[in-house]
């Protein structure tokens, strides 16, 4: 009986995960939102937007609080979606946050120049970020994308 129950549980888990594109989207969205606390895109965007629309004096105080709140909320939503990805519904949990994490308006990320995306590296014309580990590093060499 015990062996049958564990095989039944394994079969149900396998059938619920195989071929579900919506579950894969939910897991990807959840992983993307979970690392928001490291990426801090929501925090930077909130600081920037508060400073632009409410003035610089509120940008450092109100933007800080709003940014931290939105960062923790997005991270919590991401953890929830990772834990519940095989369970419907597969739509985003809330309408208050976009499916993809935001970037500040003054920065739009591009593709990293490496062998996967830039095929000219075999010819010796390679570039890339100077310091890709540093958040907000925008200086790129030979960026033609």
- Give tens-digit pLDDT for 77-121: 999 999 998 888 888 877 777 767 777 777 767 766 555 666 555
Looking at the DSSP bridge assignments, the partners of residue 84 are none
Sketch the domain layout of the chain as residue ranges.
1-92, 109-145
**Residues 52-62: what's their mean pLDDT?**
88
pLDDT tier at 69 (50, 70, 90 boundaries)?
very high
pLDDT tier at 24 (50, 70, 90 boundaries)?
confident
Share of the chain above pLDDT 90, in %: 18
**Residues 53-72: what's their mean pLDDT?**
90
- pTM for this prediction: 0.62
**Residues 38-63: what's their mean pLDDT?**
88
The tokens for 109 are 């990320």
**What's the mean pLDDT when you consider all of the chain?**
76
CA distance 76 to 82: 10
Q: For residues 1 and 22, which has the higher predicted lDDT (pLDDT)?
A: 22
């Amino acid at each position: 009986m015990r062996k049958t129950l564990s095989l039944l549980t394994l079969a149900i888990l396998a059938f619920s995960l195989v071929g579900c594109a919506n579950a894969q989207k939910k897991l990807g969205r959840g992983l993307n939102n979970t690392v928001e606390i490291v990426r801090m895109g929501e925090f930077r965007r909130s600081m920037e937007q508060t400073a632009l629309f409410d003035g610089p004096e509120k940008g450092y105080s109100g933007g800080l609080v709003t940014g931290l709140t939105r960062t923790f909320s997005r991270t919590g939503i991401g953890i929830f979606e990772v834990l519940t990805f095989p369970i419907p519904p597969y739509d985003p949990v809330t309408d208050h946050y976009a499916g993809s994490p935001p970037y500040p308006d003054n920065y739009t990320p591009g593709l990293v120049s490496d062998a996967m995306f830039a095929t000219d590296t075999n010819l010796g014309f390679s570039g890339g970020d100077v310091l890709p580990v540093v958040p907000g590093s925008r200086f790129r060499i030979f960026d033609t994308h």
